[in-house]
């Protein structure tokens, strides 16, 4: 266990980088996923097609390929940047497909009668959306969205594995492969680093679910 204590600053940096990737990934995929979700339920057919194809492509393709594509494909077409941003881009493209599905199923879980009632009392589209549909949809989006986000945190390790310097996984790789430290304590430290994020995340999610739960 000395390895962990000796390299505590390295681990802390790794944790910070991981959290950074996750924060950017969270914001990006939430925004993109919500837009795509709106596309999927829109009356405009071409937008629905965009949403559907996006979901089918990115849900069925390994994140690894998406990341490799961003890292090695984008420079080929003249888009250059740091690996960090390629990694975040890949993570956002991939996660947004899952966010989109969560949003869509959330909206569809509201029964049509609710919207009909809202229209019947004379609310317009914006009002029925913000007073009737969204408050209910958000509640049923929380549980699936939460598992998507926790999955994303774990997937950020893959971003690290292919070369974002200094995240938790990269720290593990560096210590165990390059410096030849005993793998068991080094990787236990890395695993602990992720558990520090995912387990409180899961508890927070459980609490949030209970808080917003509604009986239907």
Considering the complex, state which of residue 7 and residue 156 has its C-beta at the smaller distance from another protein.
Answer: 156
Please, what's the largest Cα pairwise distance for the chain? Answer: 70
Closest approach, Cβ 80 to another protein, in A, equals 12
Residue of 8, 57, 204, 213 interacting with another protein (CB under 8 A): 57
Residue with Cβ nearer another protein (13 or 48): 48
Question: Comparing C-alpha atoms, which of 160, 148, 147, 172 is closest to residue 21?
Answer: 160
| Contact letters for another protein, residues 118-147 (x by CB under 8 A) | -x-----x---x---x---------xx--x
CB of 184 to another protein, least distance (A): 5
Cβ count within 10 A of residue 37: 24
DSSP assignment of 120-183: HTT--HHHIIIIIIHHHHHHHHHHHHHHHHHHHHHHHHHHHHTT-TTSHHHHHHIIIIIS---H
Q: Which residues, including other chains, have CB under 8 Å from residue 11's CB and lie 6 or more apart?
A: 4, 168, 171, 189, 190, 193
Question: Using the rule CB under 8 A, which residue among 5, 12, 31, 182 binds another protein?
Answer: 182
Which among 39, 74, 41 is positioned nearest to 54, based on CA atoms?
39
Tell which positions 1-40 bind another protein, by CB under 8 A.
none
Closest CA to 193 of 21, 24, 11, 23: 11
Kindly state the number of chain residues that form the binding site for another protein, as judged by CB under 8 A: 70
Choose which of 82, 108, 130, 179 interacts with another protein (CB under 8 A): 108
In this structure, what token pair is assigned to residue 15? 């944790």
- Out of 56, 82, 130, 179, the only residue in the binding site for another protein (CB under 8 A) is 56
| Binding segment (CB under 8 A) for another protein, from list 4-12, 20-28, 81-89, 152-160 | 152-160
Classify the C-alpha dihedral 20-71-89-99 as positive or negative.
negative
Closest distance of CB 123 from another protein, Å = 11
Helix 8-40 with 134-161: angle, nearest 10 deg: 140
* Least CB distance to another protein at residue 6 (A): 18
d(CA 87, CA 46) in angstroms, rounded, equals 29
Out of 191, 206, 207, 213, the only residue in the binding site for another protein (CB under 8 A) is 191
| Residue 117 touches another protein, criterion: CB under 8 A | no
Which two structure tokens, joined as six digits, stand for 119? 């229209």
Task: State the residues that interact with another protein by CB under 8 A.
Answer: 41-50, 56-57, 59-66, 68-69, 72-73, 76-78, 95, 98, 102, 107-108, 110-112, 114-116, 119, 125, 129, 133, 143-144, 147-148, 151-152, 154-158, 161, 169, 172-173, 176-177, 182-184, 187, 190-191, 194-195, 198-199, 202
């Amino acid at each position: 266990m000395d390895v962990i204590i000796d390299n505590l600053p390295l681990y802390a940096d790794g944790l910070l980088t991981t959290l950074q990737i996750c924060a950017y990934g969270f914001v990006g995929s939430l925004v993109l996923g919500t837009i795509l979700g709106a596309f999927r339920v829109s009356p405009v057919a071409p937008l629905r097609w965009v949403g559907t194809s996006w979901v089918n492509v990115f849900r069925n393709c390994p994140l690894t390929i998406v990341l490799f594509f961003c890292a090695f494909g984008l420079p080929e077409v003249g888009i250059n940047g740091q690996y960090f941003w390629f990694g975040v881009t890949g993570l956002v493209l991939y996660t947004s497909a899952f966010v989109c599905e969560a949003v869509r199923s959330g909206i569809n879980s509201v029964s049509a009668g609710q919207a009909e009632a809202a229209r019947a009392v004379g609310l317009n589209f914006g009002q029925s959306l913000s007073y009737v549909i969204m408050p209910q949809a958000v509640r049923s989006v929380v549980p699936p969205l939460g598992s998507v986000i926790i999955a994303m945190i774990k997937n950020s390790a893959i971003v690290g594995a292919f070369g974002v310097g200094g995240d938790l996984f990269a720290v593990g790789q560096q210590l165990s492969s390059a410096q030849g430290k005993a793998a068991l304590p080094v990787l236990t430290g890395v695993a602990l680093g992720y558990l520090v994020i995912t387990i409180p995340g899961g508890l927070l999610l459980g609490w949030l679910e209970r808080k917003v739960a509604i009986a239907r």
